[in-house]
Amino acid sequence: MKAPLLVLLLLALSQIASAQPTVERWGLFEAGFTGPSTGNPFTDVALKATFTQGNASHDVTGFYDGGGKYFVRFMPETIGEWRFVTHSNRPELDGSSGTFTAVAPSAANHGPVSVAHTFHFAYADGTPFRQVGTTCYAWIHQGDAREEQTLKTLASSPFNKLRMCIFPKFYEWNKNDPAYFPFEGTANHWDTTRFNPEFFHHLEKRLAQLRDLGIEADLILFHPYDKGHWGFDRMDAASDDRYLRYVVARLAAFRHVWWSMANEYDFMKEKTEADWDRFFHIVQSSDPYAHLRSIHNGSKIYNHTQPWVTHVSIQDGAAVGDPERAMLLRDVYRKPIVYDEVKYEGDIPQRWGKLSADEMVFRFWNGLIGGTYVGHGETYANADEILWWSKGGVLKGQSPARLAFLRKVMDESPAEGIDPIDKWQDENTAGKAGEYYLIYFGKSTPKEWPFTLYKDALKDGQKFQVEILDTWAMTVTPVGSTFTTKKRDNYFFEDAAKKSVALPGKPYLALRIRRVP
């Protein structure tokens, strides 16, 4: 009888082991608890959990989700067994413990994005992140049909980052009330001490869908497009701070979240520079995973040299008019530069919303050659007032297909990113010296390019192949011959046979030059 008993014991132990929860590395683990529902649990109850694995320890703040339900969420950054124990000012929530196992991530899960190589981005597993973003400010406030349509559009788009507001928006072409509000109460009579879990359930559903599409969610925490209609733009300091802590507690465990303190922060006249500094500190100290943090300007630029700013988010309609202007802020801030708003492709009367498609694509290429990143937006007028930049829906412009071509070029570039080669003399050339070059001719129409490269990392006898990229027609044309370097003077190398590349004499051409063995 001993053998069968041993078999049964081993089987029981196996079942217990297999019952332990598992989650992917950089996935979202959630532990739920039952606790007090009387009084105001949002303010009266404190809940945290300590997650440990070996010498690693992370303190994570929990949150109240209504109906006596409390949750703690955690994003494991390493594979293996994790343990947790809760801490609370309420005995029924204090001292609860558990374990789960973090397993290898799936193929599409590369972890959160962070700064890499000073001016660029990479996922946690080292995969480069080449930002090609777009803006849909209020897409999560348009009802299920429109929101699902937006997700369908994004699924077939080139965009891998979406700028979006948490609060609803009251502005031209967007004056509809949302289905959900973040607080209990009514307009300008909100109880900002009581959050509306239904609002956050909806937000989290949409965030999860973006994550599954491989799209980073650049969450705009505050914005001025309220003007007192609901009052979210002019809450008191205690309400602002409480909102930030609650949002971070709920959302930080989503690996694809970025924090943007505000859109056009300087247009929120009720806030001071000290307020924005404080908001950064709250988000930074509340987020166990150090997600990316930025702030977007209207006409006054924030001090992006501050250490709590991870990358620079800029609105500027002129900065990417050429690569040289685009690259200037790299030297100022020594951080990744994202020109999140360079005006929008569209046809509305406002000058910020009437770029042609070719101008939008031109600005993206200038940003790329400048060693920076650019954001897209679309504002084509229609009777239904469904403009992509605010409500989402479908894309109508011609730039997204060309931006898909651009993204493919970016994805095939060196892992370290594309940087200016000779930034003080040659604004049109970028890449990785000695290995990879992109030369963008913009609106000029050359018919010939003498093979000439700046001296860095070059020597005689290196061989290169050249391709002509038509950035509007989205074509790649190899140049048949191979080019061999020979020093020309103190600054440049040319082809040993002084060969040139014949060009078709049209705008928006680029050359891709890659070293071959």
Residue 97 has pLDDT above 90, yes or no: yes
458, HSE (Cβ side, Cα atoms, 13 Å): 29
Mean pLDDT of 214-231: 96
36 and 96, same domain (yes or no): yes
Strand order in the sheet with 47-53: 22-24, 97-103, 80-88, 47-53, 56-61
Residue 3 has pLDDT above 60, yes or no: no
Mean pLDDT of 447-465: 98
pLDDT tens-digit map of 403-437 = 999 999 999 999 999 999 998 899 999 999 999 99
79 and 198, same domain (yes or no): no
Backbone angles phi, psi at 379, to 5 degrees: -140, 65
In single-letter form, the type of residue at position 94 comes to D
DSSP string, 325-377: HHHHHHHHH-S-EEEEES--EE--SSGGG-B-HHHHHHHHHHHHHTT-EEEE-
Helix (H) or strand (E) holding 98: strand 97-103
221 and 337, same domain (yes or no): yes
Residues 222, 270: contact at Cβ < 8 Å?
no
pLDDT value of residue 516: 97
Please tell me the total count of domains within the chain: 3
In a domain, 110, yes or no: no
In which band, very low, low, confident or very high, does the pLDDT at 21 lie, cut at 50, 70 and 90?
Answer: very high
Kindly tell me the burial class for residue 171, based on how many C-beta atoms sit within 10 Å of its own C-beta (0-12, 13-18, 19 or more): middle
187, HSE (Cβ side, Cα atoms, 13 Å): 9
Domain final residue pick, 378, 411, 444: 411
Kindly tell me the burial class for residue 15, based on how many C-beta atoms sit within 10 Å of its own C-beta (0-12, 13-18, 19 or more): exposed
* Euclidean distance between CA atoms 388 and 145, whole angstroms: 15
In single-letter form, the type of residue at position 206 comes to R
146 and 256, same domain (yes or no): yes
In a domain, 317, yes or no: yes
Mean pLDDT of 463-489: 98
Domain of 62, in residue numbers: 17-103
* Euclidean distance between CA atoms 476 and 409, whole angstroms: 10
**Which distant-in-sequence residues (6+ apart) come within 8 Å of 310 by Cβ?**
114, 115, 292, 293, 294, 335, 336
Mean pLDDT of 230-252: 97
Residue 13 has pLDDT above 70, yes or no: no
* Euclidean distance between CA atoms 148 and 209, whole angstroms: 10
Pairing relation of β-strands 293-294 and 257-262? parallel
pLDDT value of residue 294: 98
Residues 345, 357: contact at Cβ < 8 Å?
yes
pLDDT value of residue 170: 95
Please report, for the domain that includes residue 51, its CATH number. 2.60.40.10
Backbone angles phi, psi at 110, to 5 degrees: -105, 5
3-state SS, residue 164 = strand
pLDDT tens-digit map of 23-73 = 999 999 999 999 999 999 999 999 999 999 999 999 999 999 999 999 999
Helix (H) or strand (E) holding 516: strand 509-516
**Which distant-in-sequence residues (6+ apart) come within 8 Å of 344 by Cβ?**
135, 352, 353, 354, 355, 360, 376, 377, 378, 379, 389
pLDDT value of residue 8: 39
In single-letter form, the type of residue at position 293 comes to R
Q: 360: alpha, beta or left, given left = phi > 0 and alpha = psi -120 to 50?
A: alpha
191 and 337, same domain (yes or no): yes
In which band, very low, low, confident or very high, does the pLDDT at 20 lie, cut at 50, 70 and 90?
Answer: confident
In a domain, 453, yes or no: yes
pLDDT value of residue 424: 87
Residues 181, 201: contact at Cβ < 8 Å?
no
Backbone angles phi, psi at 285, to 5 degrees: -75, -25
184 and 312, same domain (yes or no): yes
385 and 437, same domain (yes or no): no
pLDDT tens-digit map of 264-302 = 999 999 999 999 999 999 999 999 999 999 999 999 999
36 and 77, same domain (yes or no): yes
pLDDT tens-digit map of 120-143 = 999 999 999 999 999 999 999 999
455 and 313, same domain (yes or no): no
For residue 54, count other CB atoms closer than 10 A to its CB. 9
In a domain, 114, yes or no: no
**Higher pLDDT pick, 192 / 9:** 192
For residues 187, 189, 192 and 195, what is the CA-based torsion angle, rounded to 10 degrees?
-60
pLDDT value of residue 188: 85
Does the pTM exceed 0.75? yes
259 and 387, same domain (yes or no): yes
In single-letter form, the type of residue at position 70 comes to Y
Share of the chain above pLDDT 70, in %: 96
359 and 313, same domain (yes or no): yes
Q: Which two tokens stand for residue 6?
A: 């041993």
Please report, for the domain that includes residue 284, its CATH number. 3.20.20.80
In a domain, 121, yes or no: no
Residue of 108, 178, 156, 516 whose CA lies nearest to 164: 178
338 and 404, same domain (yes or no): yes
Helix (H) or strand (E) holding 191: strand 189-195
pLDDT value of residue 221: 98
In a domain, 397, yes or no: yes
Domain final residue pick, 351, 381, 411: 411
Q: Which two tokens stand for residue 106?
A: 């799936």
Find where tokens 């991870």 sit.
310
In a domain, 83, yes or no: yes
pLDDT tens-digit map of 225-234 = 998 999 999 9
In a domain, 117, yes or no: no
Domain final residue pick, 103, 119, 143: 103
**Which distant-in-sequence residues (6+ apart) come within 8 Å of 412 by Cβ?**
none
Find where tokens 């520079």 sit.
273
Q: 111: alpha, beta or left, given left = phi > 0 and alpha = psi -120 to 50?
A: left
Please report, for the domain that includes residue 505, its CATH number. 2.60.40.3950
